Amino acid sequence: MIAALTDVEVDYPRGRALGPFSLAIDAGEIVSLVGPSGCGKSTAMRLLAGLESPSAGAVVRTPGRGETAVVFQAPTLAPWLSARANAALPLELAGVRKHDAEARADQALARVGLAGAESARPAQLSGGMAMRVSLARALVTKPTLLLLDEPFAALDEITRRALADDVLKLWAAAKPAIVFVTHNVEEAVYMASRVVVMTRGPGRTAGEVAVAGPLPRPPGFRTTEAFRTHVEAVSHLLAQGMAA
Amino acid sequence: MTRLAQALAPFVLIALLLAAWEVACRALHVPIYFLPPPSAVARALATDWAGLLRSAWNTLSMALIALVVASLLAQAVALVVALSPILERAVRPLAVVLQVTPVVAIAPLVLIWAGLDHAGRAIVGLAAVVAFFPIFSGAVTGLKATDPDLERLFDLYGASRLQRLIRLRLPSAVPYLLEGHKVAAGLAVIGAVVAEFVAGSGGAQGLAWRILEAGNRLQTARMFAALVVLGVLGAVLHAVLEAAERAGLRWWRGR
């Protein structure tokens, strides 16, 4: 177990955002978190990242500083920095010397397929490329817990499928635990060995679906009977969660 | 063709208005001290151009010095204020009062403090007062206009306050600072001209002084000539600042 939420509740002045909700993440596994918008998925992410504290319940996190990385829905790059400097930012904040940080940033950019685009600014990159820079920035510290908060939501279908496969390949190389938040059922099933479905807000667990099959996914996985069955199971839980 | 027409349209309108003005002055026998025809203004421009340029430079240089002073002060105060919300609450109302008080109203006071022999200082001071607010306001807004997700990222990696300031808040403020300086430069010229008027004809010999002096002698064509130079100065300054802002933004976001 690398991180766990136990009966957490998050209350904001305008009402409850999440919970009671529990979720345990094992080292090296990929968990998808699906739920309707406003169910508190992003809040659960911030708890797992240690960016927020729960109003009630317990949060356990084992990764040290710099071992948790987050990719947001938008690429969230600094427009005044090059792709290289953006990817190097976490290392520089940790006090790594500029030269070393940039060398490691270049490696991370190469791993996400952006070799040659190191000195481009975010404004010069397409949405998919900017997302890859964001991914490189998350990977540059070699995290043990990678939190992906609807990272493909703003991308077109072809780009998101390509990125989904790339994320799985990158996962296979370093095996960080990944929590993948999405409201796309097929994507949730495709990306993870376990899909946790949340009810509408304030979110609780509506159920869980274990996804069989190898990761990264073999070609044609989306057309298999098993994939369809899992997608239907998740959809069914989502519908129940909406009615709850 | 349409692009050419669009580019020429303002000049055609100006030419038409000038022609109508010229014809009206001649046809209605308007006295030259009341409203000189454009031809008389052009003659005044031709004879006075050296003096007018000197005066324009006088006004412009005062405004630019004021801009530098205002820029340094406004950014320093904004930095202090942005780091402390309680200080911001304290400073805001004062800054607003400073902004909404007409320069003309405080000009006589500043003139007394600067000393009647040092009208230049008073003019720079007043122009700086006017130029202060847009830069201050832009800097404060800019320092707080950081992307909340980038802020979270800095939290995640345990950034110190200094790292956050230098690597996140200052760079985020750049577009707001560019905009603030653009507005402030235009206002500094207005402030300088207003201050020159209050200082009167004994003080610095800027464009406002030219207008006052010609007015006292009822040389209306020369008043217009000075106004034309002031208008051109303003237009050129605006164009330069627009270009500077665009170039600055291009540098900031690399495109």
The predicted structure's pLDDT at residue B1: 64
Query: Are A80 and B253 in contact (CB < 8 Å)?
Result: yes
pLDDT (average), residues B49-59: 92
Query: Are B149 and A74 in contact (CB < 8 Å)?
Result: yes
Query: Are B171 and A78 in contact (CB < 8 Å)?
Result: yes
Give the model confidence (pLDDT) of B77-131 as tens digits.
999 988 888 888 888 888 888 878 888 888 888 888 888 778 888 889 989 999 9
B147, B155, B157 ranked by CB distance to A94: nearest: B157
Distances (CA, A) of B157 to A73, A143, B173: 18, 11, 22
Name residue, tokens 């847009």: B134
Dihedrals phi, psi of B104, to nearest 5 degrees: -55, -35
- Taking the CA atoms of residue A191, residue A192, residue A196 and residue A198 in that order, the dihedral angle to the nearest 10 degrees is -10
The predicted structure's pLDDT at residue B119: 82
Give the distance from residue B237's alpha carbon to the nearest chain A alpha carbon, in angstroms: 27
How much of chain B, in percent, has pLDDT values that exceed 90? 57
Residues A44 and A56: their CA atoms lie apart, in Å, by 13
Contact B41, B224 (CB under 8 A): yes
How much of chain A, in percent, has pLDDT values that exceed 70? 100
The predicted structure's pLDDT at residue B202: 59
Query: Are A74 and B152 in contact (CB < 8 Å)?
Result: no
**pTM (2 d.p.):** 0.83
The reply to whether B144 touches chain A by the CB within 8 Å rule is: no
CB contacts < 8 A, A to B, total 62
Residues A210 and B155: their CA atoms lie apart, in Å, by 33
Tokens, residue A108: 């991370």
- The CATH number given to B32-253 is 1.10.3720.10
The predicted structure's pLDDT at residue B131: 92
pLDDT (average), residues B213-225: 91
Give the model confidence (pLDDT) of B134-147 as tens digits.
999 999 999 988 99
Q: Which residues of B touch A69 (CB under 8 A)?
A: 156
A79, A82, A120 ranked by CB distance to B252: nearest: A79
pLDDT (average), residues B190-210: 81
The reply to whether B155 touches chain A by the CB within 8 Å rule is: yes
Query: Are B167 and A69 in contact (CB < 8 Å)?
Result: no
Low-confidence ranges of chain A (pLDDT < 70): 244
The predicted structure's pLDDT at residue B205: 83
Query: Are B159 and A79 in contact (CB < 8 Å)?
Result: no
B147, B163, B255 ranked by CB distance to A93: nearest: B163
Residues A9 and B108: their CA atoms lie apart, in Å, by 63
How much of chain B, in percent, has pLDDT values that exceed 70? 98
The pLDDT of residue B201 is above 60? no
Tokens, residue B21: 């003005």
Interface test with B, best of A53, A80, A134, A140 (most B CBs within 10 A): A80
The predicted structure's pLDDT at residue B122: 87
Q: Which residues of B touch A70 (CB under 8 A)?
A: 152-153, 156
Alpha helices in B145-169, H assignment, sequence order:
148-156, 161-164
The pLDDT of residue B181 is above 80? yes
Give the distance from residue A87's alpha carbon to the nearest chain B alpha carbon, in angstroms: 12
Residues B187 and B132: their CA atoms lie apart, in Å, by 9
Tokens, residue B237: 């300054």
Contact B211, B218 (CB under 8 A): no
Give the distance from residue B17's alpha carbon to the nearest chain A alpha carbon, in angstroms: 45
B158, B163, B253 ranked by CB distance to A79: nearest: B253
Query: Are B154 and A123 in contact (CB < 8 Å)?
Result: no
Give the model confidence (pLDDT) of A59-116 as tens digits.
999 887 789 999 998 899 999 999 999 999 999 999 999 999 999 999 999 988 899 9
Q: Which residues of B touch A51 (CB under 8 A)?
A: 152, 155-156
Query: Are A93 and B157 in contact (CB < 8 Å)?
Result: yes
Please, which residues have CB within 8 angstroms of residue B35's CB and are 6 or more apart in sequence?
Answer: B25, B220
The pLDDT of residue B39 is above 60? yes
The 3-state DSSP class for residue A241 equals: helix
Domain boundaries along the sequence of chain B: 32-253
Greater pLDDT, B205 or B22: B22
A40: left (phi over 0), alpha (psi -120 to 50) or beta: left
pLDDT (average), residues B200-227: 85
With an 8 Å Cβ cutoff, the interface of chain A facing chain B consists of 46, 49-51, 65-66, 68-70, 72, 74, 76, 78-82, 89-90, 92-94, 120-124, 141
Contact B153, A140 (CB under 8 A): no
Task: Given the cut 0.85, state whether the ipTM is greater than it.
Answer: yes
